[in-house]
Structure 1
Amino acid sequence: MSTINGAAGASRTTLAPPGTNNTRPKSTPGLIPTNNVTTKEGVTVRTRIDPTLTVDDVVRQLCVNLKVTEPSSNFALRDKDTDELIVNENLRKTIKNKANLKLVNAPNIEAAEIVQKLIVRDEKTLKMALWSLKKFIREEKFAQEFLTRGGLSELAEVICTEHGNTLAYALEAMHNLMDLEYGWSTFDNTFIFSVVQILSSPTSLINVCRPATAILKKLVEADPMNAPGPLIASSSRSPPIAPPGSVYRYGFQIVFQQMRREKGSLETVVNRLGSADTAMILHSMMLINSLLSHVSDTEWDEFISELERLNVRKAVIRLMSSHNIDDLTSSILDFQANIVRVTYRKKSTLVEPEVELLHESILEYIWKFSRVQEGRDGDGQVLKWRKLGFSTENLVSEFEQVGELGLDCLRNFVADDPEFFSKVVLEQLSRPAERRCPIARSSNEIVELLSEHWMIFAPAYSTSTTYQPFFLNFYRVHTLATHFFLRMWNESGSAAGDFSRIVALTRSQVKVALQSENVKPWHEVEHDFLDCEYRAVRDRQMQELEAEDDLLSKVPVRNLKEKITRESAEFVRQQRIQCLLQGAWFVNGIPIPANGLSRRPNGQWRFMRLDNGLKYLHYVDSAVKFPVRNGLEDLPERIEIAAISLIATGTCAPPQNILRDQLDLPPPTNLTPSPLSFSLLTATEGSLADQIAPDQSRWADWTDGLNMLRRDSGHVTSDETAGYIKALTEIGLKIKLLDLSGEKVDIPSGLLAGPPPSNTDFFFSDVI
């Protein structure tokens, strides 16, 4: 490339549309701001640029004025301070802000040079090339040229062979490239395995592990089911196939297959939840959440069992007590919501010992530590599982309501103290049949009580807005509650007919013991279950019964409530997204702590609106509010929803000069975070937006609406949204119950299925 001729520093020119004088009339000086344009050689030109010009026209006239012999298409303009590429969409804003500009290689020229440096692999230039690459790769023109010239394969080769900071820059560049929805559909298993090895290596630097973790997260989420376009149908047993060239061709199965090959890779990810580096914890949490959100049916049992073996719940509980950082809070709540789905799936998975070897081995373990002998009843029937407190010998039906979750809970109860379990079983068998406590049946009933308390209804997302460490300790809480049940049975001298009464006592105690769990210490939970007196519990329960309707505790009503809760959650979700589609004005906040990666807004106010495709947030910054037309014409800037990793709350303060009577905010203090603020954060590049809502309702609409749009989201942010879901559920339930009570329909506590038909010679008639 030839150099631009001229003297450094003092020249001045005015760039105007073709066919006009190049000099402004004397009556209008200063209407157009002056920008400094600097070349690579240090030549600076003070220039007034007409905002009606295109960027191509500006570059062309600059090249003419500076006597450049190369074609103007070889050049581009960038912001000197931020390196942002100047395009037609941001040219007017750049001129208005009097930004310092620089004349540089065009993106296609820059891309060609960087690809060449990747091929040559000169140690002196490679690192700088990668540093530039990770910044420029998000630009459309640059990315297309980079990919066309085979840059992707060269970058992948660098990742597979380099180390240290060079490797870190290469991984960051690859992660940034994967923000595009095209161009990276050619990764093979060798490359994915290399990333897994980098992630798992004990010698890898933190700045290497972070982008490696983020790349695996991207690959997990690039599942064919997430593809925006139509999918190619596959066989009935196989998932759909993404169209040729689509990047949505990876997913959980492909990534987990490579993690299996590298022994200890998942353990490394879980162990990094204890890292001293908050960003590393965040990336690890986000990868675990993505794996949980996208785990396939074929690997479900293996993956969940491995996570449980690694005690990931305990690691997250430690984070709950040691971290109050908003971005971690969001990921922890996502994990909590994922465990709700895991728990529901276990609860709805049938126990089939004749089919599932794992179920059979767990039952053998339970029977072994009961230390009782199989026998026969008075009718000559096998007497085995009834000795442990089941109602029948048919374990499929016994675990029908609680599924695999109930089986796991009983196993954990036994494993907590095998000697105690054996002692209790033998003690009950020594009593008359009508005085025995049905231990196994009690265990299953407590699983139902805890599921009801924590609303294990498999909603699209969790309605809890606070930490639930006791929920993550589900098995330990179940063991405590089962001990409580046994103690209440013994202290009250109960008989077989008193079973429902002890269940009601336990339900009451569960509510008391698990209240305020986000702040309550564990030792108090143990005290509530193990040290409370029967009389005190009974007196409190009688007071509660005076204010409650026994109808709500019946199984059909609880099932109806689950159904209405799911419907209410989906209704609120659609309402929140509609608010985003309508758009709203926000104040541009000041990040706390100050984030140097945040873009500085051009005005005090910002209007944001979600596009109909639910892929981009379009916005405009302004010094004053103005009527925004429907559509996106007034909103030149945009943020890609897929780039948003977290919606953090309470992150920024209002500007000092804001008209505070326009906002529902507390009195001003120096950089005090607003409770109505939120930030849209990426995994690596800081904040995309720092906003303050005008009121609590708008804040709830947007924070929850944006959370519901994210692929790996699983929770709501505001108590307001959770309250709406709860209120709609209660109203819907009351209406349904009024219909039944008005007709004086008797609601049974449960229904027993009749015997199956003896043959298939029947049909269902139409009911008129």
Structure 2
Amino acid sequence: MDEPPDVATLVAGLQAESESARKYAVFKLKGLLGDPSFADAFIQADGLPSLRRAVLNTSGNTQAYALGSLDALLELDMGWECCDELVLEKALSLAISHPLVNIVRNALTLLVLVVSRPLTTGQQDGEEPMIGFRALKPALDSNPGFLESLVQRLSASDHTLCANALQLVNALMRDAVVYGGEQEWPKFIKRLQDLGVIGGVGMLMRGDAAGDVDSPLSSAIIEFQNLTKMLLRKWRDVMVNMELPEHKRALKTIHLLSNPDPYIPPQAVNGAKVRKHHPEKWRRLGFETESPAWEFDETGYLGMMDLVDYCRRNEDTYQKTLLEQSVLPREQRCPLARASLSVTLILYEHFEIDDSTSPDENQPNTYRNSLYERRIQNVDKLYKPLLLQWGRLHTAALNAFLRLWKDAGAEAEDFYKIEEVVRILVERIVGSAGRKTDVGKVEEKLRVVSLETARRWQMENLNEVYEDAWGLHLTEVRELLHAESLQFMKEQRVRCLLKGSWFPAGGQWRYVRLSHNRRWLHYQNFSKKKHEEVPLAELAEKIDLNAVTSVDSNVSAAEAPVNTNVMRNGNDSTETLKDSTRDSSNNKATTTKITILGTSSKPKDQEERILLELFPQTSPLASEWLDGLLMLLNQQPITKDTTSLIEMMEDWGVRLRMLNLRWEDVDWEALEISVKGDGEGGAAGREVPSREGLDEPYWYALPDEVGV
């Protein structure tokens, strides 16, 4: 392996007349200057003037190597004295039009390093050499096509060239925002946007090259995304001031685009002052008062920009909406301007603008030090291409706000409810979009999503939100509600047994009924089925439940569908369920069997045997009797019907507690109507016993009708 040439040899090569000698010298130099000790020796050997001449006077690969060598020095924060106006002018002109990619790449890197150079300790802002955007301003003034050329480089096929171009865009944006002044930086940003920088970066975000987590392009894209957030935050921090011509002009644009009717002021009476504009000039547009400047306090100038942008993008829709609102009572009108400001805040929170890194005004470009070392994990989640489509998202979300307001028949007091629904839409639709999702698809989803779907999403999110905030407490609440729901279902199932039911019994009909003290199971076979309850006195056979050891059945969870009518009829027996459930095709006669096992009442006969067999004709009847018997034996229910009802009551109990509903908030009159059954003796027909005159809780057992 050949020994690398020493410093003196390389400096002599740079000064040689031979093109091949200079080319060899800068080729070797580029690799060696990464060593700080060699770079220092090169400067001490007075090599900088020769390198500067190579940058200015050579061409082709020699010039590319010379630029690369100078870049290597600047990376070490050395050789800045080479970067005078001539060198910057040369780099700028090469970056605009040179056909060789390696020259353009190195020229752009040089410009990035100049713009990104931080202030050194003790150096004053106004001291030479000039850094940042100001250092390039003379060259930019003499090359007006540079910015357009720079933005076009974002679509180059060479990914390194794209990365270098985007790095320079980032550096110029950051430097302009930090040092450009309140009047200058917005103009510079708008100029970049007009040249298509948003579309160029969006294309890079969605491209396959951006998936390489180690590439400089990924770091440049993330940096541009952070700068976009910084700009949004900076615009929000600008307070609306009607003394500023630009702000006053923006508000006037909102008014004029609404196509207001000419206002003819009334005649003055007794010298009274006549109002020169319509008394509802601004409230007509959806502001709360006739002095709307303060209403932008939360959103700042960003909210005004969004509203102006909406009015311009959707002039016809804007005017039509205001016309439709004008004929409605005031409380039913959707305040468009207020809704627009709410959507701005929803997007601001969704993209976590305030959580992004703030620029360091003293060291505005320190990110450059780690630009190539950052490893970005899961770029599909880090990239937010929809952030760059802020205006279109704002328009789509505001149109969704207006549509949902109309669909819900909302009134003024419902504003925050609709606002929360729109927040859910943005979280679901915008939040679930991948980096390659086209903004048009997101707009379409926001346009067609229904109020019903949005409400369902809202309820689904409710559990997650409260689990995060009150996880431990909700676990305790769920455990308590589960026990309460289980006890309620036990009581309901047992009451079905107390009322009694008919079962086929080999050509006859068997009526089975639980005693009032819940200790005996009475039954009797009849030649035909009766349509009324059979008194316990007519049921000669009985089983002592203390002798029952187990209950077996061929009923499975899959065979017992959920029957919500059980829930509607509360404590009534199966006989009070709607006839439609009994007559459905799914509930026709089955071979379902429930076997009650136990021991004989004789002390000497303690072997387990079959005490009674029941053949329920329907799945709901099987669920009631099987789970009812199991619960009487202090065992857990097993059918899907019962367990699903327990889960439903538990779930709704949690939701009611999360929503903090009070007992008096429930519409009991409506609830009474909803629980009425078709059968006689339903829950709605029973009078709730009064406890008037009672001051202590008590329990009692009724004696059996046949004397046990």
Question: Shared fold (TM-score greater than 0.5)?
Answer: yes
Q: 1:550 to 1:130 in 2, by over 3 A?
A: closer
Q: 1:549 to 1:425 in 2, by over 3 A?
A: farther
Q: 2:102 aligns with which of 186, 202, 207?
A: 207
> Which residue does the alignment assign to 1:528?
445
Q: 1:271 to 1:434 in 2, by over 3 A?
A: same
1:525-558 Cα shifts (integer Å, max 9, x gaps): 2233111122332343245446646999xxxxxx
Tell me, what secondary structure is at the counterpart of 1:391?
coil
1:23-57 Cα shifts (integer Å, max 9, x gaps): xxxxxxxxxxxxxxxxxxxxxxxxxxxxxxxxxxx
Stretches of structure 2 that go unaligned for 5 or more consecutive residues are 267-273, 360-375, 470-708
Instruction: Say whether the 8 Å CA contact 1:274–1:281 is kept in structure 2.
Output: yes
> Which residue does the alignment assign to 1:220?
115
> Which residue does the alignment assign to 1:370?
258
Tell me, what secondary structure is at the counterpart of 1:473?
helix
> Which residue does the alignment assign to 1:489?
405
Tell me, what secondary structure is at the counterpart of 2:15?
helix
Q: 2:212 aligns with which of 319, 325, 329?
A: 325
Instruction: Say whether the 8 Å CA contact 2:11–2:50 is kept in structure 1.
Output: no
Q: Which amino acid aligns with 1:409?
A: D
Instruction: Say whether the 8 Å CA contact 1:217–1:287 is kept in structure 2.
Output: yes
Q: Which amino acid aligns with 2:122?
A: P
Q: What's the TM-score, normalizing by structure 1?
A: 0.52
Instruction: Say whether the 8 Å CA contact 1:467–1:517 is kept in structure 2.
Output: no
1:100-499 correspondence runs (5 A):
102=3, 106-107=6-7, 109-117=8-16, 120=17, 122-140=18-36, 142-148=38-44, 150-185=46-81, 187-201=83-97, 203-224=98-119, 227=120, 229-232=121-124, 240-241=125-126, 249-256=130-137, 258-295=139-176, 296-298=179-181, 299-323=184-208, 324-326=211-213, 327=215, 328-355=217-244, 357-373=245-261, 375=263, 380=275, 383-460=280-357, 465-499=381-415
Instruction: Say whether the 8 Å CA contact 1:196–1:258 is kept in structure 2.
Output: yes
Q: Which amino acid aligns with 1:336?
A: Q
Segment drifting more, 177-186 vs 529-538? 177-186
Instruction: Say whether the 8 Å CA contact 1:435–1:496 is kept in structure 2.
Output: yes
Aligned-residue offset at 1:139: 4.2
> Which residue does the alignment assign to 2:611?
none
- Give the whole-Å Cα distance in 1 for the aligned partners of 2:99 and 2:427: 47
Q: 1:507 aligns with which of 415, 419, 423?
A: 423
Segment drifting more, 274-283 vs 363-372? 363-372
- Give the whole-Å Cα distance in 2 for the aligned partners of 1:106 and 1:320: 44
- Give the whole-Å Cα distance in 1 for the aligned partners of 2:241 and 2:60: 51
- What is the Cα-based RMSD across aligned positions, in Å? 3.1
- Give the whole-Å Cα distance in 1 for the aligned partners of 2:341 and 2:249: 19
1:597-612 correspondence runs (5 A):
none
- Give the whole-Å Cα distance in 2 for the aligned partners of 1:368 and 1:257: 41
Q: What's the TM-score, normalizing by structure 2?
A: 0.56
- Give the whole-Å Cα distance in 2 for the aligned partners of 1:377 and 1:390: 22
Instruction: Say whether the 8 Å CA contact 1:513–1:529 is kept in structure 2.
Output: yes
Aligned-residue offset at 1:211: 0.3
Aligned-residue offset at 1:279: 1.3
- Give the whole-Å Cα distance in 1 for the aligned partners of 2:352 and 2:58: 49
- Give the whole-Å Cα distance in 1 for the aligned partners of 2:116 and 2:405: 50
Instruction: Say whether the 8 Å CA contact 1:273–1:284 is kept in structure 2.
Output: yes
- Give the whole-Å Cα distance in 1 for the aligned partners of 2:352 and 2:25: 53
Aligned-residue offset at 1:241: 5.0
1:525-564 correspondence runs (5 A):
525-545=442-462, 548=465
Aligned-residue offset at 1:369: 1.8
- Give the whole-Å Cα distance in 2 for the aligned partners of 1:155 and 1:268: 27
Aligned-residue offset at 1:383: 3.8
- Give the whole-Å Cα distance in 1 for the aligned partners of 2:225 and 2:428: 21
- Give the whole-Å Cα distance in 1 for the aligned partners of 2:171 and 2:304: 27
Segment drifting more, 255-264 vs 471-480? 255-264
- Give the whole-Å Cα distance in 1 for the aligned partners of 2:225 and 2:300: 21
Q: 1:105 to 1:159 in 2, by over 3 A?
A: closer
Instruction: Say whether the 8 Å CA contact 1:469–1:517 is kept in structure 2.
Output: no
Aligned-residue offset at 1:193: 2.2
- Give the whole-Å Cα distance in 1 for the aligned partners of 2:40 and 2:323: 74
Q: 1:512 to 1:143 in 2, by over 3 A?
A: closer
Aligned-residue offset at 1:377: 10
1:290-341 Cα shifts (integer Å, max 9, x gaps): 2233332424212211222123222222122222222133322222122111
Instruction: Say whether the 8 Å CA contact 1:374–1:383 is kept in structure 2.
Output: no
Q: Which amino acid aligns with 2:455?
A: R
Tell me, what secondary structure is at the counterpart of 1:178?
helix
Instruction: Say whether the 8 Å CA contact 2:154–2:201 is kept in structure 1.
Output: yes
Instruction: Say whether the 8 Å CA contact 2:10–2:25 is kept in structure 1.
Output: no
Q: 1:160 to 1:106 in 2, by over 3 A?
A: closer
Instruction: Say whether the 8 Å CA contact 1:389–1:441 is kept in structure 2.
Output: yes
1:35-46 correspondence runs (5 A):
none
Instruction: Say whether the 8 Å CA contact 2:108–2:164 is kept in structure 1.
Output: yes
Instruction: Say whether the 8 Å CA contact 1:172–1:211 is kept in structure 2.
Output: yes
1:682-735 Cα shifts (integer Å, max 9, x gaps): xxxxxxxxxxxxxxxxxxxxxxxxxxxxxxxxxxxxxxxxxxxxxxxxxxxxxx
- Give the whole-Å Cα distance in 1 for the aligned partners of 2:218 and 2:458: 35
Q: Which amino acid aligns with 1:363?
A: L
Stretches of structure 1 that go unaligned for 5 or more consecutive residues are 1-79, 81-100, 233-239, 553-768
> Which residue does the alignment assign to 2:612?
none
Q: Which amino acid aligns with 1:106?
A: D
Instruction: Say whether the 8 Å CA contact 2:15–2:50 is kept in structure 1.
Output: no
- Give the whole-Å Cα distance in 2 for the aligned partners of 1:528 and 1:262: 45
Q: Which amino acid aligns with 1:133?
A: L
1:598-652 Cα shifts (integer Å, max 9, x gaps): xxxxxxxxxxxxxxxxxxxxxxxxxxxxxxxxxxxxxxxxxxxxxxxxxxxxxxx
- Give the whole-Å Cα distance in 1 for the aligned partners of 2:68 and 2:116: 18
Number of residues of Structure 1 aligned to a counterpart in Structure 2: 432
- Give the whole-Å Cα distance in 1 for the aligned partners of 2:42 and 2:457: 71
Higher helix share: 2
Aligned-residue offset at 1:213: 0.5
Q: 1:231 to 1:485 in 2, by over 3 A?
A: same
Instruction: Say whether the 8 Å CA contact 2:396–2:443 is kept in structure 1.
Output: yes
Q: 1:505 to 1:144 in 2, by over 3 A?
A: closer
Aligned-residue offset at 1:257: 5.1
